[in-house]
Amino acid sequence: MAVKSPNLMSTIVNLCKRRGFIFQSSEIYGGLNSCWDYGPLGVELKRNVKESWWRSMVTHRRNIVGLDSSILMHPKIWEASGHLSGFSDPLVDCKKCKERFRADHLESLEKCPKCSGELTDIRKFNLMFKTFMGPVEDNTSTVYLRPETAQGIFVNFLNVQQSARLKPPFGIAQIGKSFRNEITPGNFIYRTREFEQMEMEFFVPPEEDQKWYEYWSQARFQWYIDHGIKRENLRLRDHESDELAHYAKACVDVEFLFPFGWSELEGIANRTDYDLKQHSEFSGKSLAYFDEESKQHYFPYVIEPAAGADRTTLAFLVDAYDVEGEGKNKRTILRLHPSLSPIKAAVLPLVKRDGMPEMAEKIYDELLDDSIKSFYDHSSSIGRRYARQDEIGTPYCITVDSQSLEDQTVTLRERDSREQYRIAASSVSEILKQKMKDALK
C-alpha cells in the first residue's frame, strides 16, 4: 500500500502530466498560476466524476431536476446574496518579503512564516472576479464571474418549480464553472481560481430542515465510498459556529485525507430561507412557494450539498494511487473505481500477426460502438502493455492470442486481482457492462 507522504503530491502531478491527465495551463509561456488544463485522460476522468454525481443526484431521483444557468448574472444578485459585502478572506502581507497570506490559515500573526518579517494588519479581500459588460468600462457596467453556482438556482427557483410542477421537498442541481480570486491557491487542482462546482439546492418545508440536513450529510459521505474512496480516508467535520458562512445555520464538511492533511471536499449546509428571502426583497418579486393544500405561501428552507469536481477528481486520484513490488518489478496501479476510469478496457493482440490484430480491432470497434471507452495497443511486450494500463487505472484488459483464433475466446484480465480467465469474444461487451454495473452495487 502506498504511504501517504507529501512526496505523493509531486508523484501524482508528474504522473498526471506524463500520462496526459492534467497539464499546467499556458505552459509554453511559463504557466499561469493555479490554472490547469485537463488532457485526454483527465477530461474523461473528470467527466466521469461529474456524470456519476449527476446520475446519483438527478437521474436516479424522482424529485431532483437539473439547471444550467449563466456565469454572468445581474450584479444585484451578489448584493442580495451578501457576496459583495461578505464574501471576503482576511489578507495579510509580509512587509519584508512581500508574500501574501490568508490570515486564518496562519498559526500566528506575529511574524511572516517564510522570512520572519513583520506582517501588515488584516485587510478584507473580496474574492469575486470583476469584469465589464459592453464597451464602456465604468461602475454601471460592472459584472462578476459567479463565485458559486447556487445563486443561479435561487433566482430560478419559481421558474423551475412552476415549469416542472414540483412540491417541496425537491431539489435543483447544477454543475458549472465558478471563479474565486483566492489569495493563496495551491496544492495542484485542490484550490484554484477557476474551478467546477457540483451543487444541489434541496428545498424543504422549514420544519423538515434538520431531517434533510442529516439525510444529505450521510448520502453525500456514502457517495465517495460507493465510488471507491477508502472509509479511513474520509470524515465528516461539523463547522464551529464562528466558521459558518453568513447564510448558514449549520454546515458539515466531507473531508479527505490528502497528502497535505485533512481538507474539505464538499460542504453540506443548511442555508435556511436566507437566499430566497434576500432575492425577494432585492428584486421586489416574491420567491415564496404557494402550497396548494394549506393555501399558504411560505419560503422553503434549503439544504445544500456543494462539491468541487476538481477537488473530488484529485481525491480519487490520490486514493487510487498504489505501488506494488520493488526495483525492476515495481509497478504503479491506479485503483480507480471502474465507473471513473478514463479507459474502461484495453484490447491487446498478443502479437502483431496471424490474424490477431484483425480480431482485436473488431472487438475494439464493438466496444466503441457500445459506448465503452476503450484503447487498442499492439506495441511492446504484453507485460508492459498491462503495466501501462494499470498506471492509468484501466480496470480490464482483453487479450487476443492464438487460441482466440481457434475457439473464438479471449483472455479477460482484471486490474486489481490480476486474475485472468477466458470468455467468449462475442460476449466481451456484455460482460464488461455487467461488471461495471455490479461495481456500483
Residue 266 lies near ligand ATP (rule: CB under 6 A): yes
- For residues 96 and 113, the answer to whether their CB atoms sit within 8 Å is no
In the bound state with ligand ATP, the residue whose beta carbon lies nearer, of 197 and 341, is: 197
Q: For residues 264 and 195, give the distance between their C-alpha atoms in angstroms, rounded to a whole number.
A: 15
- For residues 374 and 344, the answer to whether their CB atoms sit within 8 Å is yes
Residue 311 lies near ligand ATP (rule: CB under 6 A): yes
Contacts of 252 (CB under 8 A, 6+ apart): 217, 236, 237, 238, 239, 267, 268
Q: Which one of the spans 72-80, 259-267, 283-291, 390-398 is the region binding ligand ATP (CB under 6 A)?
A: 259-267
Residue 182 lies near ligand ATP (rule: CB under 6 A): yes
Residue 310 lies near ligand ATP (rule: CB under 6 A): yes
Residue 239 lies near ligand ATP (rule: CB under 6 A): no
Q: For residues 358 and 434, give the distance between their C-alpha atoms in angstroms, rounded to a whole number.
A: 25
In the bound state with ligand ATP, the residue whose beta carbon lies nearer, of 34 and 429, is: 34
Q: For residues 119 and 98, give the distance between their C-alpha atoms in angstroms, rounded to a whole number.
A: 9
Query: 305: closest CA among 219, 244, 236, 225?
Result: 219
Residue 126 lies near ligand ATP (rule: CB under 6 A): no
Residue 306 lies near ligand ATP (rule: CB under 6 A): yes
Strands 261-272 and 250-258: antiparallel
Q: What 3-state DSSP class applies to 41?
A: helix
Contacts of 235 (CB under 8 A, 6+ apart): 254, 255, 257, 262
**What is the smallest separation between the CB atom of 243 and ligand ATP, expressed in angstroms?**
9
Provide the mask over 139-178, with x wherever binding to ligand ATP is found by CB under 6 A and - wherever it is not.
---------x------------------------------
- What's the alpha-carbon Rg for the chain, to the nearest Å? 25
Q: Which one of the spans 10-18, 230-238, 307-315, 339-347 is the region binding ligand ATP (CB under 6 A)?
A: 307-315
Residue 201 lies near ligand ATP (rule: CB under 6 A): no
| From candidates 191, 279, 385, 415, binder to ligand ATP by CB under 6 A | 191
Q: For residues 266 and 222, give the distance between their C-alpha atoms in angstroms, rounded to a whole number.
A: 12
DSSP 8-state class, residue 72: B
Q: For residues 360 and 403, give the distance between their C-alpha atoms in angstroms, rounded to a whole number.
A: 13
| Site residue total, ligand ATP (CB under 6 A) | 16
Q: Which one of the spans 6-14, 71-79, 151-159, 260-268 is the region binding ligand ATP (CB under 6 A)?
A: 260-268
**What is the smallest separation between the CB atom of 183 and ligand ATP, expressed in angstroms?**
10
| From candidates 52, 187, 192, 270, binder to ligand ATP by CB under 6 A | 192
* Binding-site ranges for ligand ATP (CB under 6 A): 148, 180, 182, 191-192, 195, 197, 264-267, 306-308, 310-311
